[in-house]
Structure formats: C-alpha cells, structure tokens
Amino acid sequence: MWEQAGIVVGALVTLAIFSLLYKDNPLYRFAESLLVGVSAGYYLVQYCFSAIYRKFYIPVIGEGDLWLLPGGILGLLILLRLSRRVQWMSRYAIAFYVAAWSGYLIPSVLQERILIQIRSTFPPSLAEASIWAVLGSLFLLVGVVSILVYFFFSAEHRGALGRISQVGITFLMVGFGASFGYTVMGRVSLLIGRFQYLFQDLPQALSF
C-alpha cells in the first residue's frame, strides 16, 4: 500500500518538476522548495549519524577515547560563526579543516594526478606491445604535452610555442566535445528512466 502510494507521490513530484519546461510556475517552485528541505534534512541526519554519532559520541562518551574529543571541540568552534562577537574563534576550525585537507592532498595528488598520469602517458616499448598500441600512446603523449604547453602561461604563445598550443587546443576541443556528448547521453538516459517511471511503474501501481 505505502509502496504504491510512494510511486504515485513520486510521479506527482516528477510531473511538478517537468512543468518547468512550460514555464516557471507555483507547482515547480513548490517541488523545488520541497526538494531543498527534504535533501537538507536527509543529508543532515546521514552525516550526523555517520560523523558525529559514530566518530564522536560513541568513541568519546561511550568508550572514553579522549583522542577524539578535539574533533568535537573544533566542531563546536565552527558553530561560533553564528555569533558576531566570537566568530573569529571559528577560524581555528576552518584553518584545521582546510590545512588538514591540504596536508592530506599533497602526497595523494602528486601520486595519483601527476606521477601515475605521466607514467601512463609514456609509450610502452615495441617488445611489450603492438605497433598500434605504441602509436596510440605516442598520439596520447603528443596530446598531453601540447595541452600542458597550452596551459603554460609564463611565456607568450608565439612561434613554435604558439603552434604547439594550437595542437593542444585542438585536442582539448575534441575532448570537451566528447565529454559533452557523454554527459548529454547520461542526462538522456536519466530522462528515459523518468519516462519509464511515469509510463510503466505508475500504471502498474495504479492497477493494484
């Protein structure tokens, strides 16, 4: 019973959001406001449980692990942003969060985004791979190097540098076009999913 009612409600809110295709209207704005409220409530509960309850309440209050107490104190400091008089104290929590992320990111970014990517760009030797694989890797190498030259702003893009950066922008445009096409198809498959919901799931739910 609740499952069928849920499908009907889901169909109604789906139609309310699709109504924006006609024009901005109260039904759409109602659904939009509801989405904001429900999403905020949902994620608040999820994070309060997984972060505050599991990582603070249980270890500190339940098990007496005081090493996790500073997390709660820093968290409380961030709430001081709501008071103008003491909001400077929240800077400690912000500095903690941003600096912790920065320190955590440096090795992982260097490893994953730079070193591994550079290593994968270099072509394998002919003894290890076919001629087509080597040619493909060389093509990749030309693309990556020319794109990096395009993003190198310390010298004016003239002469050889300008020509290489033009090759780079050509690679970038093909890449952006491909990513665009891929994203559009992802959105279209979501749209098909919504239509299936409206034309298959909803009639089935109504015929119980």
Residues 94-153 binding other proteins (CB under 8 A) are 94-107, 109-110, 112-114, 117-118, 120-121, 136, 139-140, 142-144, 146-148, 150-151
CB 161 within 8 A of CB 155: yes
Determine the interface stretch with other proteins among 90-98, 122-130, 157-165 (rule: CB under 8 A).
90-98
Query: Alpha carbon of 81 to those of 11, 70, 73, 78, 132: distances in Å?
Result: 40, 18, 14, 6, 59
- For residue 199, the minimal CB distance to other proteins (Å) is 14
Nearest to 168 by CA among 176, 20, 201: 176
Question: How many residues lie near other proteins (CB under 8 A)?
Answer: 115
Residue with smaller CB distance to other proteins, 37 or 162: 37
The count of other CB atoms within 10 Å of the CB of residue 196 is 11
Q: Is 190 in the site for other proteins (CB under 8 A)?
A: yes
Kindly identify the residues of this chain, within the stretch 67-86, that bind other proteins according to CB under 8 A. Answer: 67-68, 70-72, 74-76, 78-79, 81-82
Give me the helices (H) in 48-115, please: 69-79, 90-109
Q: Is 169 in the site for other proteins (CB under 8 A)?
A: yes
